[in-house]
Structure 1
Amino acid sequence: MGLAERRKALGYSQETLAGILGVDRTTVGRWESGRIEPQPPQRRGLAIALEVSLQELDVLLTGLRATGQEATGQQSSDHQRAGDTDEMIRREFLRILTVSGALAALPADEAGALTDGGLRRTPADFERMNSHLWQVYHLARSKGSVYPVIRDQLKALNEELAGGGSRSRSLLSPAADLFQMAGEVAFDGNRYTDAAASYSLAASVSRDAAAYDLWACALVRHAYLDMSEQRYRQAAQVLGAAERLAGRGDSELSTRHWVASVQAEAFAGLGDLTACERALDRAEKVRDLTAGSTNGGWLRFDGTRLAEERGARYVQLGHLDLAETALTTALAQTALSSGQSYRRRGAVLTSLAAIGAKRRDPDQVLVYGREAVGLARASESGYVARRLQALCVELGPLSGDRRVAELGAEIATLSTL
Structure 2
Amino acid sequence: MARRRGLAGHRVARGYSQEEFATAIGVATSTVVRWESGRSAPRPYQRPKMARLLGLSRADLDKLLSSVNTATVTSGNTPMSASSGDPGEMRRRDLLGLLTTTSALLALPESPVAASPGRISAAAPQAEEALADHLWRVYGLADDKHTLYPVIRRHLGSLTEDMERARGHTGHKRVGTRVADLYQLAGELFFDARDNALSAHCYALAASAAKEARAYDLWACALTRHAYVELYAGRAPSAASLLSAAARVARRGDSALSTRHWVSAVQAEVHAAVGDFDACARALDAAEEVRALSGPVHNGGWLRFDGSRLAEERGACYVALGRPDLAEDVLTSALARELGPRRRAAVLVDLAALGAQRGDVDQVIHYAEEALAVAGQTRSGYVSAKLDGLRPRLAGLSADVRVPDLHRRIAALPSSA
State the TM-score, normalizing by the size of structure 1: 0.76
Q: Which of 117, 122, 125 does residue 124 from structure 2 map onto?
A: 122
1:162: Cα distance to partner?
A: 2.6
Superposition pairs of residues 10-409 of structure 1, within 5 angstroms: 75-77=85-87, 80=88, 83-86=91-94, 89-102=95-108, 105-106=109-110, 110=112, 112-113=114-115, 118-119=119-120, 122-165=124-167, 167-169=170-172, 170-333=174-337, 335=338, 340-409=339-408
Amino acid paired to 1:226: E
Query: Would the aligned equivalents of 1:213 and 1:250 in 2 still touch at CA under 8 Å?
Result: yes
Distance 1:85 1:253 in 2: 36
Q: Quote the offset at 1:163 in angstroms.
A: 2.9
The DSSP-based 3-state class of the residue aligned with 1:95 is helix
SS at match of 2:202: helix
Q: Which ranges in structure 2 are unaligned for 5 or more consecutive residues?
A: 1-81
Distance 1:376 1:119 in 2: 44
Report the Cα distance in structure 2 between the residues aligned to 1:364 and 1:116, rounded to whole angstroms: 66
Sort the Cα spacing of 1:314 and 1:198 in 2 relative to 1 into closer, same or farther, 3 A: same
Aligned length: 332
Where relative contact order (Cα < 8 A, 6+ residues apart) is larger, the structure is 1
Assess, with a 3 A threshold, how the Cα gap between structure 1 residues 91 and 81 changes in structure 2: closer, same or farther.
closer
**Can you give the 5+ residue segments of structure 1 that lack an aligned partner in the other structure?**
1-71
Shift of 1:145: 1.4
Matched-pair contact (CA < 8 Å) for 1:101–1:205: no
Contact conserved, 2:110 with 2:167, CA < 8 A, in 1?
A: no
Query: Whole-Å Cα distance in 1 between the matches of residues 193 and 239 of structure 2?
Result: 21
Aligned 8 A contact 1:118 1:165 in 2: no
- Amino acid paired to 1:144: H
User: Quick one: structure 1 residues 111 and 367, their matched pair in 2 at CA, closer, same or farther if it must change by over 3 Å?
Assistant: farther
**Are residues 111 and 294 of structure 1, via their aligned partners in 2, closer, same or farther at CA, if it must alter by over 3 Å?**
farther
Partners of 1:93 and 1:117 in 2: CA distance: 29
Q: Tell me how far 1:92 sits from its aligned partner.
A: 3.0
8 Å Cα contact 2:217/2:259 also seen in 1: yes
Q: Secondary structure at the match of 2:242?
A: helix
- Cα deviations across residues 271-320 of structure 1 (Å, max 9, x unaligned)? 11000000000000001111211000100000000001000000011110
> Given that residues 264 and 276 in structure 1 are in contact (C-alpha distance below 8 angstroms), is that contact kept between their aligned partners in structure 2?
yes
Moved more, 228-237 or 321-330: 228-237
User: How far 1:198 moved relative to its partner?
Assistant: 0.2
What CA RMSD, in Å, does the superposition of the two structures yield over aligned residues?
2.0
Indicate if the aligned counterparts of 1:137 and 1:143 stay in contact, CA closer than 8 A.
yes
